[in-house]
């Protein structure tokens, strides 16, 4: 059976890429996973290339040089940064994605992963248990680029037989690398501040409830989908995946149960409008049916693990 042999990861230094790369290297071989990013951060003897995904020619050169057959395309500008600089978000998220799909088409790559997001939804989408196939009218440039990514990936699948896959990640919570400028970043920042200062000022209101997922489940979903038999898939680039859903005050309460001195206050900013346009919870039955998805972490088990990992990381 054909499988992923030489893997390229774009945006490898980001929140997800920095944990995906070691996992892929463990599974597929150290030298078979080529990490790339715009960041100039060599990785010892591990294959690493500085690569701006807007440079399609350089991307094609790297794919040729290493004999790449699979790409995990993680480079992007996230929602909050994207609202500050929509033109950059368009260039990187649409231009970069187009280059990745084109290199996939030209070189007949085996498989490509392009993540979408809960940001693909908008205020007209049903907010609770958001269906798989529903209204996609995002109000952010980031969300618009994600819908374009879903549709373009699907187009390459039908038009060129390119095996493009993707999930709509919820907000990802993790302890290794800080998130890169999203609206769900509060759910990571809060842990650092709770441990260091015993207080946190949230940029979202207390009742704001969003779909979230712990990093081990994010990596599990990514690999499960990429390793699923193609014939089982009815969807390709736009799978809803759920982990947990909670409001800011529910997360704060869960932290307070473990750090009783912890206090939170609220100063909502421009990110509140972004969060208000997104769902509260997600129906992921298509992912469950088509490739057997189920998450391992809920809110209490995620909070326990985050605090344990961050206490070690911060030397507390």
Residue ranges in contact with ligand SER by CB under 6 A: 78-79, 117-119, 142, 171, 182-184
Number of CB atoms found within 10 A of residue 5's CB: 13
Task: Note if 142 is an active site residue.
Answer: yes
Q: Which is nearer to ligand SER, 158 or 270 (CB)?
A: 270
Structure tokens given for 144? 């618009």
Q: For ligand NAD, which stretch binds (CB under 6 A), given 14-22, 64-72, 122-130, 233-241? A: 14-22
Q: Of these residues, 142, 169, 186, 297, which one is catalytic?
A: 142
Minimum separation from the CB atom of position 40 to ligand SER (A)? 24
**Rounded to an integer, what distance in angstroms lies between the CA atom of residue 29 and that of residue 25?**
5
3 state DSSP class of 74: coil
Binding window for ligand NAD (CB under 6 A); candidates: 1-9, 164-172, 272-280, 297-305: 164-172
Q: Taking the complex as a whole, how short is the minimal distance between the CB of residue 1 and ligand NAD, in angstroms?
A: 28
Q: Which of 7, 71, 78, 101 binds ligand NAD (CB under 6 A)?
A: 78
Nearer to ligand SER, 121 or 293 (CB): 121
Looking at beta carbons only, is 11 or 47 nearer to ligand SER? 11
Give the E-state strand segments of 15-69 in sequence order: 33-37, 48-50
Q: How far is the CB of 79 from ligand SER (least distance, A)?
A: 3
Which DSSP letter does residue 107 get? T
Interface mask toward ligand NAD for 84-103; x: CB under 6 A:
--------x---x-------
Interaction of residue 49 with ligand NAD, rule CB under 6 A = no
- Who contacts 250 (Cβ-Cβ below 8 Å, separation ≥6)? 209, 299
Query: Nearest residue by C-beta to ligand NAD?
Result: 14
Q: Smallest distance from the beta carbon of 35 to ligand SER, in angstroms? A: 21
Per-residue contact flags (x/-) with ligand NAD for residues 180 to 219, judged by CB under 6 A: xxx-x-----------------------------------
- Provide, rounded to whole angstroms, the least separation between the CB of residue 15 and ligand NAD: 4
Residue 316 CB neighbours (<10 A): 9
Whole-angstrom distance, CA of residue 46 vs CA of residue 33: 8
DSSP state, 315? T
46-56 residues labelled b (16+ CB within 10 A) or e (exposed): ebbbebbbbeb
How distant, in Å, are the alpha carbons of 85, 149, 274 from that of 79? 10, 15, 8
Q: Binding to ligand NAD by residue 11, rule CB under 6 A?
A: yes
What residue spans of 50-182 are helical by DSSP H?
56-66, 79-84, 86-90, 96-106, 141-160
The entry of ligand SER, ligand NAD, none that residue 180 binds, CB within 5 to 8 Å by partner kind: ligand NAD
Distance CA 20, CA 13 (A): 10
What are the phi and psi torsion angles at 9 (to 5°)? -115, 120
CA-wise closest residue to 188 among 225, 145, 218: 218
Active site residues: 142
In the complex, the residues that contact ligand NAD under the rule CB under 6 A are: 10-11, 13-17, 37-39, 51-54, 74-76, 78, 92, 96, 115, 117, 169, 171-172, 179-182, 184
């Amino acid at each position: 059976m054909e499988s992923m042999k030489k893997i390229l990861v774009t945006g490898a230094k980001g929140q997800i890429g920095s944990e995906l790369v070691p996992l892929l290297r463990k599974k597929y071989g150290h030298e078979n996973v080529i990490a790339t990013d715009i960041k100039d951060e060599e990785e010892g003897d591990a294959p690493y290339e500085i690569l701006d995904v807007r440079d399609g020619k350089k991307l094609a050169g790297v794919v040729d040089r290493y004999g790449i057959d699979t790409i995990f395309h993680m480079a992007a500008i996230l929602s909050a940064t994207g609202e500050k600089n929509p033109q950059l978000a368009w260039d990187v998220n649409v231009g970069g994605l187009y280059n990745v799909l084109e290199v996939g088409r030209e070189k007949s790559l085996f498989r490509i992963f392009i993540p979408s997001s809960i940001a693909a939804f908008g205020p007209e989408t049903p907010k609770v248990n958001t269906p798989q196939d529903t209204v996609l009218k995002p109000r952010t440039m980031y969300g618009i680029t994600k819908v374009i990514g879903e549709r373009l990936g699907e187009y390459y699948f039908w038009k060129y037989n390119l095996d493009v896959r993707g999930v709509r990640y919820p907000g990802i919570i993790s302890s290794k690398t800080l998130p890169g400028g999203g609206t769900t970043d509060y759910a990571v920042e809060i842990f650092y501040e709770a441990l260091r200062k015993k207080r946190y000022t949230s940029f979202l209101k207390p009742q704001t409830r969003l779909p979230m997922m712990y990093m081990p489940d994010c990596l599990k979903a990514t690999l499960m989908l990429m390793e699923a038999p193609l014939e089982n898939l009815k969807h390709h680039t736009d799978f809803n995946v759920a982990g947990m859903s909670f409001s800011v005050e529910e997360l704060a309460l869960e932290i307070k149960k473990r750090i009783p001195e912890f206090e939170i206050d609220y100063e909502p900013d421009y990110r509140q409008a972004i969060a208000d346009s997104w769902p509260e919870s997600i129906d992921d039955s298509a992912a469950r049916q088509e490739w057997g998805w189920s998450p391992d972490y809920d809110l209490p088990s995620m909070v326990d693990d985050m605090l344990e990992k961050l206490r070690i990381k911060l030397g507390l």
